[in-house]
Chains A and B, each alone.
Chain A
Amino acid sequence: MKEQDLLEAFNHIRNVEVPEHIRANVLDRIVREGKQAVTIRYAASWGLVAAALLLFNGLVLTGNLASQNQNSALMVMSSQMNLNVNNQLYHD
């Protein structure tokens, strides 16, 4: 095929009509994907709420444990002090 014939071939390509069903499919997909996006947003916001609750619970639990540890430490300290005082009294 010569170059001229080759480029001439471009002229044999005609525009065609768009099949009618494409419009319906586009509208259908827009509606469907819109619904999906709403569902995803809904699920994501519930996910965020759940994550926040878990985090809050975790913080409360950590706080409780820390205060328990603090209490135990205080108890150990005070019994140690008692022991020291008793020892002191005994020696005196």
Chain B
Amino acid sequence: MTGSEFEEIYAKHASMVYNLCLNYLQNLEDAEEVTQDVFVKVYASREQFEGKSAVKTWIYRIAINRCLDLIKSRSRLKRLGNVISIFETKAQPGHFEHPGVELEHKEAVANLMKLVDRLPEQQKTALMLKALEGLSLKEISAVMEKSEKSVESLLSRAKENLKKLLNPNEG
């Protein structure tokens, strides 16, 4: 991959990666950091990309894994932060910050995201790729390296769980 090819990849996919990170992490600073990490990783591992999947799928996969890594490291820090309060300066998961949401809808979206965050990792990823990124089942299955049937099942379980979280008193 030459410099100009990389520039082309960046120009084509930067918006997708940044918005995915924003939706996933709901924090500006984190989304910027992860977007940078993703493209540095894309450049560093360009030799390993075998072209078995589309570049877009490959980049989606890197972005999701990086977001999950950050969430995991943040929750480790948060646990540690309960003991050492110095770590509590960073934005907490409950702190919703998304420039793509207008003020009047901020509360509704923040509530939705709070519930989505409580879903198991895979269900959350499938739901976000479907509802926010607008990917097809085939594309989601390629990104998540799962069969379309598994993705379908993840999506239906995600919706069921969201319903349960929304109405905890019902069955």
Q: Which residues of A contact B (CB under 8 A)?
A: 1-3, 5-10, 12-19, 22-23, 25-26, 29-30, 33
Taking A6-B108, A18-B18 as given, write out 9 further A-B residue pairs in contact, using a Cβ cutoff of 8 Å, ordered by the A residue number.
A6-B162, A13-B98, A14-B102, A18-B35, A23-B14, A26-B39, A29-B40, A30-B40, A33-B40
Expressed in whole angstroms, the Cα–Cα distance for A66 and B73 within the complex equals: 55
Residues of B within 8 A of A15 (CB): 15, 19, 100
Within 8 A of A (CB), among B30-77: 32, 35-36, 39-40, 43-44
CB-CB under 8 A for A12 and B166, given A7-B131, A22-B32, A26-B40:
no
Expressed in whole angstroms, the Cα–Cα distance for A10 and B113 within the complex equals: 9
Expressed in whole angstroms, the Cα–Cα distance for A32 and B142 within the complex equals: 33
Within 8 A of A (CB), among B102-149: 102, 105, 108-109, 111-112, 115, 131-132
Query: Can you list 10 A-B contacts with CB-CB less than 8 angstroms, sorted by A residue number?
Result: A1-B108, A2-B166, A3-B162, A7-B112, A9-B112, A12-B102, A13-B23, A13-B132, A18-B14, A18-B35
Expressed in whole angstroms, the Cα–Cα distance for A13 and B115 within the complex equals: 15
Interface pair A6/B40, CB less than 8 Å apart: no
Which chain B residue shows the least CB distance to A24? B36
Interface pair A17/B15, CB less than 8 Å apart: yes
B22 within 8 A of A: yes
B163 within 8 A of A: yes
Contact among A10, A22, A33 for B35, CB-based, below 8 A? A22
Which chain A residue shows the least CB distance to B108? A9
B81 within 8 A of A: no
Interface pair A12/B101, CB less than 8 Å apart: yes
Contact among B10, B18, B109, B115 for A16, CB-based, below 8 A? B18
CB-CB under 8 A for A13 and B100, given A6-B166, A18-B18:
yes
B94 within 8 A of A: no
Interface pair A9/B36, CB less than 8 Å apart: no
Expressed in whole angstroms, the Cα–Cα distance for A69 and B14 within the complex equals: 70
Residues of A within 8 A of B99 (CB): 16
Which chain B residue shows the least CB distance to A21? B32
Residues of A within 8 A of B163 (CB): 3
CB-CB under 8 A for A5 and B108, given A12-B101, A16-B22, A22-B18:
yes
